[in-house]
Amino acid sequence: MADNENEIQEQPRHRSMEKISYAEKGRFFKLRNILNIIFILLCIVGMALFFYKSREVGGTLLIAAVFIKLCECVLRIIH
C-alpha cells in the first residue's frame, strides 16, 4: 500500500483541437449536414404553424422533421 501512495498518477491526455479532414468525416457528412438543415427549418416552420395557424399542418411538418432526423441518424450509424 505504501507504494501506491507514493506513485504519481498520470494525467489523462486531452484530445487536440485539430481540424479533421473531409475524408475522415465520412462519405455521408455533406448529406447529413443537408438533412440537419432541412430538419431545423421544418421544425421552425412546423412549430410556427402549429401554434399560430393549423395544428394539423404544423403537426404533419413536425412529424416529417422527425422522419428526416431519423434518416440522418441512420446515416450516422452506418458510418
| Consecutive H or E run containing 51 | helix 29-52
Q: Output the CA–CA distances (angstroms, integers) from residue 14 to 7, 18, 36, 47, in the order listed.
A: 21, 12, 29, 40
Q: Hey, how many other C-beta atoms are within 10 angstroms of the C-beta on 69?
A: 17
Reply yes or no on whether the pLDDT at 13 is more than 70: no
Cβ contact 73:36 at 8 Å: no
What nine digits make up the cell of 63?
412529424
How many CA atoms are closer than 13 Å to the CA of 50, on its beta-carbon side? 12
pLDDT in tens, 44-65: 999 999 999 989 999 999 999 9
User: Whole-structure pTM over 0.85, yes or no?
Assistant: no
